Chains A and B, each alone.
Chain A
Amino acid sequence: MVQTLVQKIIARASSRESVRPGEIVTCKVDLALLLDSGGPRRIWPRLKELGVGVWDPDKIVLMTDHFVPAVDAQSAAILKLTREFAAEFGIKNFFDMQGIGHVVLAEQGLLQPGMFACGGDSHSTNGGAFGCYMAGFGAIEMTGVVVTGEIWLQVPETIRVNWDGDFHKGIVAKDISLQLCRELGMDNAFRAVEFGGSTIADMPMTERVVLTNMAAELGAETGLIEPDEVTLDAIRAAGVEPVTDALDWHSDPDADYLAAHNFDAGSLVPQVAAPHKPSNSGPADDYAAVRIDQAYIGACVGAKLSDLHMVAEVLKDRTVAKGTRLLVAPSSKRTMAEAAADGTLATIVEAGGNLLATGCGACAAMGAGILAEDEVCISSTNRNFQGRMGANSSSVYLASPYTVAASAVAGRIADPRELLV
C-alpha cells in the first residue's frame, strides 16, 4: 500500500505494515520531551499518586526553558523540582538552562528520521523538520507516556505544501509560515502538513524548523519534511551518526494526499501578522503606520543563530529608534556563544539592543520582557494571542527577524527590504 511519510512512521511505531487515515492506533514512543513548564511539576505528583516510576529514563529528554532564569520564589521552586526529578529518575538527557527545548533537541542531534516522538509542548512539531513524527501533548497525556511509553493516535490525513523558486532578499521561512496561517487557516486538526519543493530543499535546517514549528499555528497534528543530505549533515554536525535507513523515510511518489498546495517563493513579500492571531497576516507595508514600543527577538522559532544574523545584518551601522526598545533573547546557550564569537552580539548591542537571558522569556509571558497595558510589540515569536506576552490590552505583531529588526530601527513597522539593498 502506498503511504505518506506520516503513515509510514506511525505504521512502524504501531508495529503494522501500513495504516490508513482515520484509524486509531497505539504507538510506541521513541523519545519524550518534557519541559519545566508542563513537565515534572505536573507529572511527578501524578506518578506519586499512581505509585509508579518512569517507563524508560533513557527515552526521556528533560529541559528547563520556560522559567529560566528564576525570577521569583515560584519559578525557582519549579526549577528546583525539575532538577530533583532528573536526579531521582536518572534522566541522562537533562539540559538545564541550555536553551529552549525544541532548539536544544536539534543541537544535540537527538532527532532522527523515522522516529516517533512526543513533547509536552505544542511546538514539539518543530522536530518534524528532521523527518520524524513529533507532536505536542498536554502534561496529562505526557503523564501517560512517561508511565506506559505509549500513546493512542488517530492517523491523520497528510496535506502537501510545496514552495518552489527563490526568495527575494529579506524574505525567509517565517514569511512563509505567516502566509500559510492565512491561506490554510489555523483549524487543521487531524491533518499533518508535509513541506517540500525546491525552496525548502535549499533551506538550512534552522529555516526548515520554522515551518514545522509553526505547523502548530496551523492547528496540524504535526509538520514534517522528508530527510535529505541537509538533514543528515545537521545530525552529523551535532556529533551523531544518522540512522542507516535515514533516507528511506519519505512519502511514496504516488501517495494519497488530502490536498496539495503549490506556492511560488518569488512572489512572496515580508509578512506581518496583526493582533491577535497568526492568521491575520498580510504584507508588512500594510502596517507601516503602526508605532511600536518593543521589538522582541526570541523564542524557539525566532532567535537561533541564523535569526540573530538577520538582525545584525539590518542593525549594522544603524541604531534602534528613540522611544523603542529592542530585546534579544538568544534561543540557546550555544547560539549565545556562537553569536558572541562571530561579533553578532556586539553589533546588536552597539545598535542599542538589550540582551536577555536564553530561554522562552517574554514569548508566553513567563520570563523577562513582558508588555504593559496598551503597549505594542513586534516579535519574531510564533503566537500573538491576546495577553500572550503580557497585559490583556497589549498588542503583538508577528514578523521575521529581518522585519522585527527593521521595525526597531524605524520605531514603527517597516519592510526590511528597504534596508537590505
Chain B
Amino acid sequence: MAAVAGNAWLFGDEINTDTMAPGLYFKEPIEVMATHCLEAVNPDFAPNVKSGDIVVAGKNFGMGSAREQAPMAFVHLGVGAILAKSYSRIFYRNAINFGLPVLIFPQVDEIGVGDELIVDPVAGRVENKSSGVQYEVEAIPAHLMEMISAGGLMPWLKQTRGKGPGKG
C-alpha cells in the first residue's frame, strides 16, 4: 500500500459513530449517508473533504455503534487515512476490513487544521510538510496489514474462499 497525502481535518476526543453515520439516514445508500458524515460535529467536513485528506482525532475515535457505515463513509468520501490517539474496538476492526488505514498517533495535538500530511502506513511514518516534522508511528500489526494490503476483507475472502457465482 502506497503512502497517502492530503490535508488534515481535526476532531476532538470520543467522536462517536452515530455522528459519522446518523441513524436518521440509516436506510439510505452510503452515497447519501456519507453526505451527513460528522455534520453534527463539523458541517463543513463532508461537503469539502478531498480525496486523500487525513482525519486527525483524539482518543476513542469511533466509539459506540457497530455500524460499518461509519468507516465506509470515510472511504466513500476519499479519506486516505485516520490518525487518532486511540480507537474504539469495533471502529478499528471495521476500518481495517474496508482497507482504511487507521494509525495510533499520540501527537495529534501537534497537527494544525489543514496541515499537509503524508502518511505511510506500511513504513509507519507520518510527515507534516507544513511544520516540517516527521513522526515514527506504530505500524499496523502484520496480520492486519495483510488484510489492508489485499484491499480489505472482501478481496481477502475472494482470494481465500471465493468459488464464483453460487447460492443466492
B18 adjacent to A121 (CB under 8 Å): no
Q: Is A42 an interface residue (CB 8 A)?
A: yes
Beta-carbon contact of B153 and A187 below 8 Å: no
* A34-52 near B? 1/0 per residue, CB < 8 Å: 0001100010101111111
Assess the A189–B19 pair: CB atoms within 8 A: no
Report the bound CA distance from A185 to B31 in whole Å.
34
Chain B residues near A140 (CB-CB < 8 A)? 68, 94, 97-98, 152-154
CA distance A147 to B166 in the complex (A): 13
- Sorting the interface of chain A by its residue count into under 10, 10 to 19, 20 to 34 or 35 or more gives 35 or more
When the two chains form the complex, which single residue of B28, B86, B153 contacts A141, counting CB atoms closer than 8 Å? B153
Residue B139 lies at the interface, judged by CB distance under 8 Å to chain A: no
- Looking at chain B, what size class is its interface with the partner chain? 35 or more
What is the 8 Å Cβ interface bit string for chain B, positions 79-118, against chain A (1 contact, 0 not)?
0000000111110111001100000000000000000000
| B24 and A365 contact, CB distance less than 8 A | yes
Given A138-B90, A189-B89: A49 in contact with B66 (beta carbons within 8 A): no
* A138–B64 touching, CB < 8 Å: no
Are B93 and A383 in contact, with the CB atoms below 8 A? no
Interface positions, chain A 135-158, Cβ under 8 Å from B, are 136-141, 143-144, 147-148, 152
Contact digits for B1-33, partner A, Cβ 8 Å, 1 yes 0 no = 000000000000010101100111011100000
Interchain CB contact under 8 A, A386 and B97:
no
State how many angstroms separate the Cβ of A86 from the closest Cβ of chain B.
12
A277 touches B14 (CB 8 A): yes
**B162: CB under 8 A from chain A?**
yes
Q: Is A221 an interface residue (CB 8 A)?
A: yes
Q: Is residue A388 contacting chain B, with contact meaning CB distance below 8 A?
A: yes
22 A-B interface contacts by CB (under 8 A): A48-B168, A50-B163, A51-B166, A52-B162, A52-B167, A120-B66, A122-B90, A136-B66, A137-B90, A138-B71, A138-B94, A140-B68, A140-B97, A140-B98, A141-B97, A141-B153, A187-B86, A189-B88, A219-B89, A365-B22, A386-B40, A387-B18
**Chain A interface residues toward B at CB < 8 A:** 24, 37-38, 42, 44, 46-53, 66-67, 72, 74-75, 78, 88-89, 120-122, 124, 136-141, 143-144, 147-148, 152, 186-187, 189-190, 219, 221, 277, 364-366, 370, 383, 385-388, 390, 392
